[in-house]
């Protein structure tokens, strides 16, 4: 079973580049080393010209990798400090964990 993890981060448009640089250096490489695969990262409008939503989609190739990644992330203080810095600029944020519907 592939587990999909989707982050939705709403930022002031002027903060997107700075956040992305930090995500690129401080979060993404470590997430990949925990076994997650990056499916994509996108930006989309919110209806407010000064706000953008960044959508990040990760994939854990198995439930075992999902749990191993969870354990590793919870033990890594850099993960907590990354989200703390994100929450200092994010206007809203959510993460959803998705599993496939139907037979797997």
Partner 1 sequence: VTRWVLVASFGRASVAGEVDDWLRAARAVRELPGVLSSDVDLDLTDSFGGGDATWDLEVDVPLEELPAVQALTTPGSAALRACERVALQPVLTGSDPFDGPRLKRTLLLGVDPSTPDAVVEQFELSMAAMAEHVSAIRSWALSRVDPTRSTGPWTHAWEQEFADLDGLRRGYLRAPYHLTAVERWFDHEIPGAIVDESTVAHLVRPAEAAVLPPAVGTTTTHHDRS
Q: Which of 42, 33, 32 is nearest to 7 (CA)?
A: 42
| CB distance 69 to 36 below 8 Å | yes
From the list 15-23, 34-42, 49-57, 92-100, the region that binds partner 1 by CB under 8 A is 92-100
Q: Which of 6, 70, 85, 89 binds partner 1 (CB under 8 A)?
A: 70
Q: Is 47 exposed, middle or buried (CB count within 10 Å of its CB: 0-12, 13-18, 19+)? A: exposed
Residues 3-42 that bind partner 1 (CB under 8 A): 3
Comparison of 17 and 87: residue with beta carbon closer to partner 1: 87
Query: Does residue 97 bind partner 1 (CB under 8 A)?
Result: yes
């Amino acid at each position: 079973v592939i587990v999909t993890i989707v982050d939705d981060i709403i930022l002031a448009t002027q903060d997107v580049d700075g956040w992305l640089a930090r995500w690129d250096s401080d979060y993404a490489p470590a997430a990949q080393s925990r076994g997650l695969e990056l499916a994509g990262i996108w930006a989309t409008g919110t209806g407010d010209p000064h706000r953008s939503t960044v959508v990040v989609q990760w994939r854990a190739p198995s439930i075992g990798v999902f749990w191993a990644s969870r354990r590793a992330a919870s033990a890594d203080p850099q993960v907590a400090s990354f989200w703390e810095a994100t929450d200092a600029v994010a206007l809203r944020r959510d993460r959803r964990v998705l599993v496939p519907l139907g037979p797997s």
